[in-house]
Amino acid sequence: MSGFPGCPRLLKGGIVLIDAGSAQVQRIISLQYNPDSLTRTLQPQGPGEGADRAEALRLKGPAVETFKLEAEIDATDQLEFPDQNKTAVEFGIQPQLAVLESLVHPPSSRLIANNALANAGTLEIGPMESPLALFVWSKSRIVPVRVTDFRITARLNVASGHIRNVALNAASLASEEGQPVRMPHLLQAARAEAAKRERSLTDSETRGWV
């Protein structure tokens, strides 16, 4: 909420996880920033290919609704005050990413329990059920969703001048090895540049580089 008088209260979207059996709220995942844009797609459920011409205008059910958005997460504000945000200094945005990744992974407790059942000789172990996810878009727009695609794009938290140094150092490292510039060269150069500023790169900044 803004500190300026008269400004409207800012509401953030997010995802609420609910136990499908008891209807108890398990977790609330609030977005750090509301997305700049949200794509909403409706795909009609027609009869499909090979259907009779007389069935062409029939619908098998309601349209399949798909939401697509990009959520931005960063720790810039927290890193400005490292003494007050030691978790952000040590782990970056890894805790927030772990919470989001839990949407597509079964809980470890269930995996351990199923492994114990398998070791005990249980012949049939049912698939694990994920919690019901509610996407909170606004006060009047709350819809059940299933996460079908989850991608993470890591970006370095550095100014343009430092990016130039990283690029030049990476090119120098590649030239010494007689190779084109590759991600390991960029990673080594980025770490060296961060060390000059007396900081280390977080896992969230370099995830997927190599």
Query: String of b and e for 45-80 (b: at least 16 CB within 10 Å)?
Result: eeeeeeeeeeeeeeeeeeeeeeeeeeeeebbeebee
Give 48-86 pLDDT, tens digit per residue. 777 777 777 888 889 999 999 888 887 767 767 778 888
Residue 6 pLDDT: 62
pLDDT above 90 for 25? yes
Give 96-155 pLDDT, tens digit per residue. 888 888 888 888 888 898 889 888 888 788 888 888 999 998 888 899 998 888 887 766
Helix boundaries (H) for the chain = 76-79, 86-91, 94-101, 108-119, 160-177, 183-196, 203-206
- Nearest to 152, CA basis, from 89, 109, 91, 209: 209
Contacts of 133 (CB under 8 A, 6+ apart): 15, 16, 17, 18, 103, 144, 145, 146, 147
CB 125 within 8 A of CB 118: yes
